[in-house]
Structure 1
Amino acid sequence: MMKIYLILLMSALIQVTELHAQTPEERLEELGITLTEPGEPVANFVNWRKVGNVLYLSGSGARVIGTVGEDLTLEEGYEAARLTGIKIISTLKAAVGDLSKIKQFVRVHGMVNSAPDFYDQPKVINGFSDLMVEVFGEKGKHARAAVGQVALPFNMAVEIEVTVEVED
C-alpha cells in the first residue's frame, strides 16, 4: 500500500512540476532579454530554411567586431557569443512563432575570429551554449564545433550556425 502511495505522490509531483515549467519566452523575460526582428540577409541567401521538422539557420553574428586574443579578451568574446545567441533566438522566434515549438537544438557550429596564438574558442562559444541552456533547458543542449578563423565577415568576433528540430 505504501509503495502505491509513493508512486501516486511522485506522479502528482511530476505533473505539478510540468504545469509550472517556464516557457522559453518566460525565461527570456526573467533574464531581462528583449528580442528584436531579424535583419535582412546581407547577400543572396535566407536567414533560415525548414526541411521537414528541421530548421537550419544561416550563420549569424552580433555587432561585436575584432579578433579575440588580440583586440578582444576571452570575456569579450564570450559576451559576443552570448549576444549572437540572442540574435539567433530572435531568428528562431521569427521562424517558428512560439519558441516552445523547438523540440531540441541539434548542432551548433561556432566560429571565432581568433589571433594566431588564441586557443580558447570553446570557452568563447560557451557564451552561446550557456544561454541556450538558460533559456531552453535540456532542449538547449547540442552537439557543437568551436573553431578559430583567421577572419570573419565584417570583422565579426563570432559567427554561429544552428540546426534545431521543431514540432510540425
Structure 2
Amino acid sequence: MTSQIESRLEALGIVLPAAVAPVANYVPAVESQGFLYISGQIPKGANGLEYVGKLGRELSVDDGRAAARLCAINILAQAKLALGDLDRVGRVVKLVGFVNCDPEFGDHPQVVNGASDLMVEVFGDKGRHARSAVGVAALPFGVGVEVEAILEIA
C-alpha cells in the first residue's frame, strides 16, 4: 500500500533518489526522543552534483532556489531510509539553509524558500516550520546550497 506522502510525491512528479551515503565521519540521520535529525544535504541529483558555485556570482537566485529544493528532496530520501515510511513524519520542525555566496549577496531567504516551499507542498500544514537562512563563504564540493532538517516523528 502506498503511503499518503508517497502518493503526494507522485502527484508532484517527484521521485526520491537513493539516500546519499556520508562522505566523512558522521551519520546521515539520528533518531532521538521523538525527533529525526537529518544531516546537511547538498544538491546531488541523478547526474551527480548540481548547482556548483556561489550565489551572486555563478548562480542566480532561481538556481539557488532549485538547489535548495533538490537538497530538500534529498532530506526526504534520508528520512524515508531512516523511518521506512514518510507518513511517520509528524511535522517538519526546522530547516537550516546554508547559502554559499558573495559577501554582498542578501537574498538568502528567497534561496532557502526552495526547500521550505517543497516541505509545505509535500506535508501541507505539517510542513510549515521554523527556519534559518545563513550566508557562508564556502560549502563542501563548492555547492551553492546545503540544507539540514529536524523532523518530529509521529
Instruction: After TM superposition, give the deviation of residue 23 of structure 1 in Å.
Output: 1.6
* 1:55 to 2:36 alignment: yes
Find the aligned partners of 2:94 and 2:122 in 1 and give their Cα distance. 16
Residues 65-115 of structure 1: CA distance to partner in whole angstroms, max 9, x if unpaired?
A: 110110000000000001111111111111111111100011111100011
**Aligned-residue CA RMSD (Å):** 1.0
* 1:156 to 2:147 alignment: no
Residues 54-75 of structure 1: CA distance to partner in whole angstroms, max 9, x if unpaired?
A: 1111111112211011000000
State the one-letter code of the partner of 1:33.
I
Q: 1:71 — aligned with what?
A: 58
Instruction: After TM superposition, give the deviation of residue 156 of structure 1 in Å.
Output: 1.0
State the one-letter code of the partner of 1:129.
S
Q: TM-score, normalised by structure 2?
A: 0.92
Q: 1:29 — aligned with what?
A: 10
* 1:90 to 2:71 alignment: no
Match of 1:38 among 16, 19, 23: 19
Q: Percent identity?
A: 47
State the one-letter code of the partner of 2:65.
Y
State the one-letter code of the partner of 2:143.
M
Instruction: After TM superposition, give the deviation of residue 116 of structure 1 in Å.
Output: 1.5
Q: 1:147 — aligned with what?
A: 134
Query: Which structure dedicates a bigger proportion of its chain to strand?
Result: 2
Find the aligned partners of 2:29 and 2:42 in 1 and give their Cα distance. 14
Find the aligned partners of 2:148 and 2:106 in 1 and give their Cα distance. 20
Find the aligned partners of 1:60 and 1:84 in 2 and give their Cα distance. 5
Q: 2:46 — aligned with what?
A: none
Q: 2:68 — aligned with what?
A: 81
State the one-letter code of the partner of 2:40.
G
Q: TM-score, normalised by structure 1?
A: 0.84
